[in-house]
C-alpha cells in the first residue's frame, strides 16, 4: 500500500467518523405519531426543544419553548401524547404533553436523572392504562 493510499484511507475514516457524529446527533427522532408526523429535538432556536414535522420535512411545528433542554421525544401508541426529557434544577425529568404541545406535565421528581422515556405496550390496547418508563443514565467518568 502506498503512502498516499494510507493517508487517503485515514482521511476517509476520519471523515466517516465526523459524519456519523454530526448526522447521528441530528437524527434523534421518534415516529409515527399523527399519520406521517415525526417528533424530533433540535437546537435551531438556541436551546434544545421538541418539534414535529411531516415525513417530507415540511410543516415544522415547535412544541416546547423552555430555556432548559427538552429532548428524547417518544410518541404514545395512539399518537395523542409525546413524552420527553427536560432538564429541571440540573436533573433530567420526564414530561408528557399533548400532541400539539399543550398540557406539559412533569411525571418524575426524584433525585436521579430520568431520560429516554417510552410508553408501555399496554397503551396500544388501552390508552387510558398507558404508563411511561424511563432509563436512568449512568456516568461514564
Evaluate if residue 95 carries a pLDDT over 90.
Answer: yes
Mean pLDDT of 121-133: 56
Measured between its terminal Cα atoms, the distance across the chain in Å is 39
The pLDDT score that the predictor gives to residue 72 is 95
Report pLDDT digits (tens) over 16-49. 333 333 333 444 555 555 567 899 999 998 999 9
CATH 3.30.470.20 describes domain 31-135: no
Q: Is 53 helix (H, G, I), strand (E, B) or coil?
A: strand
Sequence ranges of the domains in the chain? 1-29, 31-135
The sign one gets for the Cα dihedral 98, 115, 49, 58 is negative
Give helix then strand counts, H and E, for the chain: 1, 10
Amino acid at each position: 500500500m502506498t503512502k498516499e493510499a494510507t493517508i487517503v484511507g485515514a482521511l476517509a475514516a476520519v471523515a466517516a467518523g465526523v459524519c456519523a457524529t454530526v448526522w447521528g446527533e441530528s437524527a434523534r427522532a421518534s415516529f409515527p405519531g399523527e399519520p406521517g408526523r415525526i417528533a424530533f429535538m433540535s437546537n435551531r432556536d438556541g436551546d434544545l426543544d421538541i418539534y414535529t414535522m411531516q415525513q417530507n420535512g415540511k410543516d415544522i411545528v415547535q412544541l416546547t419553548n423552555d430555556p432548559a433542554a427538552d429532548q428524547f421525544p417518544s410518541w404514545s401508541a395512539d399518537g395523542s401524547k409525546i413524552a420527553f426529557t427536560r432538564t429541571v434544577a440540573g436533573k433530567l425529568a420526564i414530561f408528557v404533553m399533548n400532541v400539539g404541545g399543550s398540557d406539559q406535565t412533569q411525571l418524575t421528581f426524584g433525585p436521579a436523572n430520568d431520560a429516554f422515556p417510552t410508553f408501555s405496550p399496554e397503551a396500544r390496547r388501552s390508552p387510558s392504562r398507558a404508563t411511561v418508563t424511563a432509563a436512568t443514565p449512568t456516568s461514564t467518568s
